[in-house]
């Protein structure tokens, strides 16, 4: 390792840790514990959603059918691709490949941006078709007569809150990746010190996993047959 890399690595060691291994282990465990809190945070919403779905299946199915399954599936693929590029970014950091690291981080950010763009398109469409609970909710003939509008509105409450919370996490994630790009450009990462990249990767994959569940639960229960 070059002299510059040595001193960069030494500078990365915080004073209260004995060595970089301990620091890395603490950082990784810290991120996993944080992700567990996120499991419980989203989990409360999933629990409420599960209960109301079991009570109001017809209304929830009707609401689900009004979501654009194509855009949902595309978004799922986009996020999965972004997880691939994130994993490759971590790989680049682990192998001291600075250029590849920056490229993959930026690709991940772009894919995240695409996801958010598609989400915006979906939200805008829901606004136009008056399917936003509380603010602008008056669906027309797209809901069959016998189905309770209140149930459909409840479905859309969950749709908007869960996807908006998820999107907020994505925005934060993109911000974190931007910070990593700056640090990588300043040559802060190497095979000896890449913990921030790895730990950010864990966060990014977690946000992907949330969507992996949101997609079937929101888009695929519509009985589209």
Write the CB contacts of 91 (distance below 8 Å, at least 6 apart in sequence).
none
Q: Which is nearer to other proteins, 72 or 174 (CB)?
A: 72
CB of 116 to other proteins, least distance (A): 19
CB of 113 to other proteins, least distance (A): 19
CA-wise closest residue to 24 among 9, 2, 5: 9
CB of 129 to other proteins, least distance (A): 18
Q: Which is nearer to other proteins, 153 or 174 (CB)?
A: 153
CB of 3 to other proteins, least distance (A): 22
CA-wise closest residue to 78 among 217, 215, 218: 215
Q: Which is nearer to other proteins, 81 or 116 (CB)?
A: 81
Q: Which is nearer to other proteins, 184 or 219 (CB)?
A: 219
Coil, strand or helix at 104: helix
> What H or E segment, with its residue span, contains residue 220?
none
CB 201 within 8 A of CB 90: yes
CB of 106 to other proteins, least distance (A): 18
Distance separating alpha carbons of residues 155 and 157, to the nearest angstrom: 5
CB of 119 to other proteins, least distance (A): 17
Q: Which is nearer to other proteins, 25 or 172 (CB)?
A: 25
Half-sphere exposure of 5 (CA within 13 A, CB side): 11
Helix ranges restricted to H, the chain: 3-12, 20-55, 57-65, 69-94, 98-128, 149-185, 195-214
CA-wise closest residue to 209 among 83, 62, 48: 83
Unique residue bearing structure tokens 């190497």: 190
Q: Which is nearer to other proteins, 17 or 123 (CB)?
A: 17
């Amino acid at each position: 390792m070059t002299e510059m890399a040595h001193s960069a690595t030494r500078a990365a060691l915080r004073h209260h840790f004995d060595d970089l291994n301990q620091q890395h282990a603490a950082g990784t465990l810290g991120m996993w514990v944080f992700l567990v809190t996120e499991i419980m945070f989203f989990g409360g919403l999933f629990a409420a959603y599960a209960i109301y779905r079991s009570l109001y299946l017809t209304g929830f199915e009707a609401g689900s059918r009004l979501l654009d399954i194509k855009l949902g599936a595309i978004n799922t693929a986009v996020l999965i691709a972004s997880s691939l590029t994130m994993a490759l970014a971590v790989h680049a950091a682990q192998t001291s490949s600075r250029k590849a690291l920056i490229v993959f981080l930026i690709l991940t950010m772009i894919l995240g941006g695409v996801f958010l763009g598609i989400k915006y398109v979906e939200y805008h469409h829901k606004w136009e078709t008056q399917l936003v609970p509380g603010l602008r909710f008056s669906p027309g003939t797209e809901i069959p007569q016998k189905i309770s509008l209140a149930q459909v509105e409840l479905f859309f409450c969950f749709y908007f809150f869960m996807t908006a919370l998820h999107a907020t996490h994505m925005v934060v994630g993109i911000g974190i990746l931007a910070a990593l790009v700056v640090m990588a450009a300043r040559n802060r990462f190497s095979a000896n010190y890449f913990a921030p990249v790895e730990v950010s990767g864990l966060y990014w994959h977690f946000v992907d996993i949330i969507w992996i569940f949101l997609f079937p639960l929101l888009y695929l229960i519509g009985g589209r047959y």
